[in-house]
Structure 1
Amino acid sequence: MDTLTAWLTKVRSLLAPALLHCLICGKTSRPAAGLHGICAGCEEAIPWIRQPRCQKCGRHVGCPDCSRSGQAVPIVCNRSAVAYTSVMREMLGQYKYRGNEQLAPLLGSMLDRAYIRLKAERERGQQGTAEIQKAESAFTGPFFPGIQSARNRRWQADLLVPVPVSESRFVERGFNQAERLADVLSGRRGIPQLPLLVRTHHTGKQSFKHRAERIADMKHAFAGNPDGAVLLQFEVWLETLGKRTRPLQIIIVDDIYTTGSTIRACAETIRTLCNDYGKVAEIYSLTWARS
């Protein structure tokens, strides 16, 4: 009987889910089903942005910024993985300011969900365009090859560009969090990433500034990366695309979207760089959190 009891205990332990030390709450608990390194309770509490109310900036609540601004926005849209709640703020702080490197894959996998949603949105939009073109489908053939191919094409980002940090910030933290996020997304989706941008000057902590101060700070804050090796990589990458007729699909990657001033400044610089090479780009942004 003792042998049977011991055997049953061993079987139960093998069948029971292994417990883990959660990276968010710090408790030992049942692991999450979809995200590595956190418990099921913390996974359920993540404030995912599944249906953004603002289709331009991806905000999950009413957005006065996009509606009141009459200026043209240099990105197609932004999408963020989560709302920037106090729990998410603490989580990012653990990684960004207190060097908890274990959080990097988790944050990157969360950002990947935002990419999946963006991709699904773009493909739904293409399907909608295809429906409009149904009346023209009878003309598909050797004289109209583009109609059918456009309908069947799946959307895919071509390039990831992380938002750069200043030299002083890099020395302080030892890494660029946006670049780390882009690394994870690049590995998961097979999308190349290039550090096409540099900061021209240190802008200080943006979290302590008002909207107008952020916008003023970001004017001329970025420039194309002057590193010859990076530019050569960019040129080689452009050559691999061949004679593509559609615009380049470029995604800017950052940790937080607040006013969008950083993303807009980066997008304008990337657009200018692409124009210098005779290329048209559709620019998007993906951020881990939306404040």
Structure 2
Amino acid sequence: MPTVKQNNVLAKVILDAVFPPRCLSCNKFGAWVCGECWQKIELIKTPICYRCYRLSSEFKLCPSCHRQQALHRVIVCAHWQASLKKIVYGFKYRRARVVTNLLGGLLSAAIQSIPLAHNNVVVVSVPLHRYRYWQRGFNQAENLARVVAEQNHWPILTTLVRHKPTLPQFGLNKMTRKDNLADAFSLKPGSQALLAGKTVIIVDDIITTGVTLNECAKTLRQGGAKEVWGLVLARA
């Protein structure tokens, strides 16, 4: 009798035959992301401060930016160019979760380039409010975070909660973004014991002004985290 895994493989073969995958970037048949489009993704090879784009060792925030932030550093994997935009859009809004491992692998490779005390790291994702989660059916940041945690053998925590329903940040100016997210995040009871003295890697798909990550970082540091690092695919 076929195993569950064998049945899943068979189902995928049948689905791919009936509904062949098309590249999220160029629409070419054959794969969800074709090799040509994947090669077009421009990785960031020189560490920078994500806020001001000055060169910065190991993606640390430069001194002038760090004074305004609860984040210690933000690791940005790639430039926000056409191929990556389309792939991330498909992943996020067309529910093309089949590319989770590809995108999560990008994040994992980026953070592996920076020295870390691996026994003192935990992974967290930017949470969705429960209503938004219900509408979308999944949290893309959480899916990416699980890949990063698994590939690096780090625990993943679900201690961070978005308890306040907020507007989408896209299209809001900087001050409105801050007001929108003020007091939006909290920690589950007992989180302090899990966060105390830890370096927390908080994962999201993209970053714009950094307000969301910074508000999350404030909450995590209030809960006892030693440092909070952002890990994102790109800055939009």
Determine if the TM-score, normalized by the shorter chain, exceeds 0.5.
yes
For 1:106, the equivalent position in structure 2 comes to 102
Q: Does 1:285 align with 2:219?
A: no
Supply the distance in 1 between the matched residues of 2:22 and 2:94 (Cα, whole angstroms).
18
**Per-residue deviation, residues 67-123 of structure 1 (Å, max 9, x unmatched):** 876843211100111222233222112111111121211111111122123x2xxx3
TM-score, normalised to structure 2, is 0.77
Supply the distance in 2 between the matched residues of 1:289 and 1:257 (Cα, whole angstroms).
6
Q: Equivalent of 2:117, from 121, 145, 155? A: 155
Q: Percent identity?
A: 30
Distance verdict in 2 for CA 1:46–1:58, change over 3 Å = farther
- The code of the aligned residue for 1:286 comes to L
Supply the distance in 1 between the matched residues of 2:27 and 2:223 (Cα, whole angstroms).
45
For 1:49, the equivalent position in structure 2 comes to 44
**Per-residue deviation, residues 12-54 of structure 1 (Å, max 9, x unmatched):** xxxxxxxx9645433257x9xxxxx633321221021111332
Q: Map residues 230-245 of structure 1 onto 2, 5 A cutoff.
A: 231=190, 235=193
Supply the distance in 2 between the matched residues of 1:60 and 1:205 (Cα, whole angstroms).
28
CA shift, 1:221, in A, is 1.1
Distance verdict in 2 for CA 1:158–1:212, change over 3 Å = same
For 1:3, the equivalent position in structure 2 comes to none
For 2:69, the equivalent position in structure 1 comes to 73
Q: Number of residues paired by the alignment? A: 211
For 1:168, the equivalent position in structure 2 comes to 131
Distance verdict in 2 for CA 1:198–1:204, change over 3 Å = same
- The code of the aligned residue for 2:33 comes to I
Runs of 4 or more consecutive aligned structure 1 residues displaced over 4 Å after TM superposition: 20-23, 56-61, 65-71
Supply the distance in 1 between the matched residues of 2:206 and 2:52 (Cα, whole angstroms).
12
**Contact 1:161 / 1:250 at 8 angstroms: preserved in 2?**
yes
For 1:25, the equivalent position in structure 2 comes to 26
**Per-residue deviation, residues 215-242 of structure 1 (Å, max 9, x unmatched):** 221211111124xxxx37x74x57xx9x
**Contact 2:161 / 2:187 at 8 angstroms: preserved in 1?**
yes
- The code of the aligned residue for 2:79 comes to A
Q: Does 1:218 align with 2:181?
A: yes
Supply the distance in 2 between the matched residues of 1:87 and 1:25 (Cα, whole angstroms).
8
Distance verdict in 2 for CA 1:86–1:184, change over 3 Å = same
- The code of the aligned residue for 2:234 comes to A
Distance verdict in 2 for CA 1:222–1:68, change over 3 Å = same
Q: Map residues 201-212 of structure 1 onto 2, 5 A cutoff.
A: 201-212=164-175
TM-score, normalised to structure 1, is 0.64
Supply the distance in 1 between the matched residues of 2:48 and 2:111 (Cα, whole angstroms).
17
- 3-state DSSP class of the match of 1:102? helix
More helix by share: 1
Q: Which has the larger radius of gyration?
A: 1
For 2:14, the equivalent position in structure 1 comes to none
Q: Equivalent of 1:179, from 118, 132, 142? A: 142
Q: Map residues 57-136 of structure 1 onto 2, 5 A cutoff.
A: 57=51, 59=53, 71-117=67-113, 119=114, 123=115
Q: CA RMSD of the aligned region, Å?
A: 3.0
